[in-house]
Amino acid sequence: MSYLDDLFSLDGKVAVTIGAGGVLGGAMASALGRAGARVAVLDLIPEAAAAQADAIYGAAGVDAMGIGVDATSEEGLQRALD
């Protein structure tokens, strides 16, 4: 493992990404997965969240879960994080 891999490693961490079923959020979620984080992909469209989670698992081999949630709803976010 290189110095930078060590410095920026997210092994053992969990990243929660909102809007990650889209292009920009998906790229961020993928980068977090490649850095070693387990990733929760939250998106308004459950199918988009699941597809992105599958792509992260396939590319990075880390645990990734897609969750459909309305991020404008406090109750919805709380349910997603429980």
Residue range 20-60, pLDDT digits in tens: 999 999 999 999 999 999 999 999 999 999 999 999 999 88
DSSP β-bridge partners for residue 56: none
CATH code for the structural domain at 11-81 = 3.40.50.720
Question: Order of strands, edge to edge, in the sheet holding 64-68?
Answer: 14-18, 38-43, 64-68
Please report which confidence band the pLDDT of residue 70 belongs to, taking 50, 70 and 90 as the band edges. very high
Q: What is the pTM of this model?
A: 0.86
Where are the domains positioned within the chain? 11-81
